[in-house]
Structure 1
């Protein structure tokens, strides 16, 4: 891993950025989507369990399940504004 980091640092010092703008944008949105998916994994399981116990918690469970997706939407908005 250290060798890869050294190669990237040498390349970036010689030729400019190590990663292009569109690739950086794709990486940012992809990581945001992965983080949202990881968050939804636990939230969704808890929401389904809570709804199974009490039907009146459906709205709260739905809101909490959808909330991490705003991270991906925000990442897309930033990409369109910056790019």
Structure 2
């Protein structure tokens, strides 16, 4: 039981850390692209929102599995 709690907490922590790193890279490059080419702001915004959804999809799955591990639903 204790290993389920530990593994669930680690899974949630790394999912949140991965999402933070991915989002910071994404929006940093978005702002850099706007400063280099301001007329492409609309195209860059649309592409960055699509990528934001893709970056956020995997951590949400990781957090959901971590919560299931914390409450002992999966993992023995």
Q: Is the pair's TM-score, using the shorter chain for normalization, greater than 0.5? A: yes
**Aligned counterparts of 1:44 and 1:21: Cα–Cα separation in 2:** 34
- CA separation in 2, counterparts of 1:72 and 1:65? 12
Check whether the contact 1:48–1:61 (CA below 8 A) recurs between aligned residues.
no
Q: Which runs of 4+ in 1 moved over 3 A?
A: none
Q: Are positions 1:72 and 2:64 aligned together? A: no
Native 8 Å contact 1:47 1:62 kept in 2: no
- 1:43, 1:65 within 8 Å by CA — same for their partners in 2? yes
SS of 1:82 mapped into structure 2: coil
Give the length in aligned residue pairs: 66
**Is residue 2:26 matched to residue 1:43?**
yes
Larger Rg: 1
Aligned-residue Cα RMSD (Å) equals: 2.4
Q: Deviations over 1:17-63 (max 9, x none)?
A: 8x521121011110111122112221111112334521222111122
Is the deviation greater in 24-33 or in 68-77? 68-77
Return the structure number with greater relative CO, CA threshold 8 A, min gap 6: 2
- The answer for unaligned runs of 5 or more in structure 1 is 1-16
What is residue 41 of structure 2 aligned with on the other side? 55
